[in-house]
Every structure is written in C-alpha cells, then in structure tokens.
Amino acid sequence: MQQQPMLEILAHSPWFSSLPETLAAELVSLCKLKTLADQQVLHKKNDLADGFVCVLSGRIRISNYTLQGKELILTWMQPGNWFGEISLLDGQPRTHDAHTEGKTVILKLSAGAFHTMLRNNNQWYAHFSRLLCQRVRASFSQIDETGCLSLTGQLCKRLLLLQQGLESEHCVNSQNKLRISQDALAQLIHSSRQTVNKILQDLRVKGLIDLKYRKIQLLDRDKLAELSRI
C-alpha cells in the first residue's frame, strides 16, 4: 500500500488523529502490513491476544456464536478503525471472533511490540484508556438502544453508525452506499431477515432510504436519527 492513501485513512480515525505525533509515528512504524483474503479468521473468541490492528481496506466482522450456532454480530471494523486492545491490556482472552469480509488490508502491531512500547512509555496508557472509554460508551449506548427502542429504531441507529464509519473511507468505493445484506443487518440487531426486510421497505416508502441488491443508501439522516432517539 502506498504511503499517502494510508495516512489519509489513518487520519480519519478520531482516536488516531488525537494521538501525539510521536506516539502516532511509533505506532505506525512498528506495525506490519498484512493482506488477507475474504472470510479469513484473524482470531477466535477465547484466543490469547496476538496484536493490535487497524483496518486499511476491506472490513472485519466482530461476532460471537450462540450454543445453537447462531452468529451474533457486534459490529464491523471499517477502514481507519483500530481494535484488539482489550485483550492486550488485561491479558484475558479475546471477547469475539474476527473474520474478514472481502480482501482486507490491515496494519498489525504484535503483542510483544505493543507491550514493549507501553512499558517504555507509561504516559501512552492515557491514549489507550481513551480508546477503551470509547468502547464502553459505545456498548452502553447499545445496551440502552436494545432496552428501549423498537427494532425500527435500532435498525435506523445502526444504519447511521455504519454510514458514519464508512465515511472515513472517502466515499471512494460505493458512492456512499452501504454494502450489506439484510441478513447481516438482522444478525446485527438480533432480529430476523424477514423483519429487517419489512422495516427497510417501510423506510423506503417513507423516502428515508433507497434500496438496491445488497446496497442501502441513506437519504434522510435527520429523520433516521429522529426514529432512533432514546
């Protein structure tokens, strides 16, 4: 991957952009570029932590499986997103599976390099703490959402969040459309494909979104946000 586009992707992460220059530079310089094919496993739940990762292109699905084998999607890590710090920071195993979706390029900092870096620079803990705080806050929001929003509300909220994530990507790929199946959305909000379809049709009729095969375009974000207020 060329230097310039990589820096642009990195710059679109609010967390990464907030880092002091020295930390940002050291972080990137210690990382290795890796290219993964579609549906590769980065790690499974309960694995020991092997590193800290940033997605550069493609997408990584973060999910768990129930005893019955149903997949529960927590989120997708999109270009610019960093993840994997939890297991590194508390020494406990991974909380979720991580699978690529499509050809995916990542930056990876090995566990060893991560710990060496932190040991030599205690003051940088502050920045990883902030990343953890973001995760807690996002999780709290999600708990509130599932507690008091209808599935319509939850779906609107998730569509908005996915779109936000995509926009780090410079709208290059998909003319600003979300590329995602209705099935996957159902797994995200713990619902069924049929119900998601019904909700999406309803939103389309109301003019809030446009629907294509495996593509969703958000047309009226204010209304969508209104439907997902808590």
Among 38, 144, 220, 226, binds a second copy (CB under 8 A): 144
Structure tokens at 5: 């586009």
Q: What angle do CA 15, 17, 18 make, to 5 degrees?
A: 65
Min. distance of Cβ 230 from a second copy in angstroms? 6
Q: In sequence order, what are the beta bridge partners of 77?
A: 60
Q: Please state, in angstroms and as integers, the Cα–Cα distance from residue 194 to each residue in 40, 130, 199, 200, following that order.
A: 28, 38, 9, 10
Q: CA–CA separation, 34 vs 55, rounded Å?
A: 10
Q: Are 72 and 190 in contact (CB under 8 A)?
A: yes
Binding mask 144-173 for DNA (x = CB under 7 A): ------xxx---------------------
| Using rule CB under 8 A, residue 64 touches a second copy | yes
| Using rule CB under 8 A, residue 150 touches a second copy | no
| Using rule CB under 8 A, residue 212 touches a second copy | no
What is the binding site for a second copy (CB under 8 A)? 64, 66-67, 70, 72, 74, 86, 89-90, 92, 95-96, 118, 122-123, 125-126, 128-130, 132-137, 139-140, 142-144, 146-148, 190, 229-230
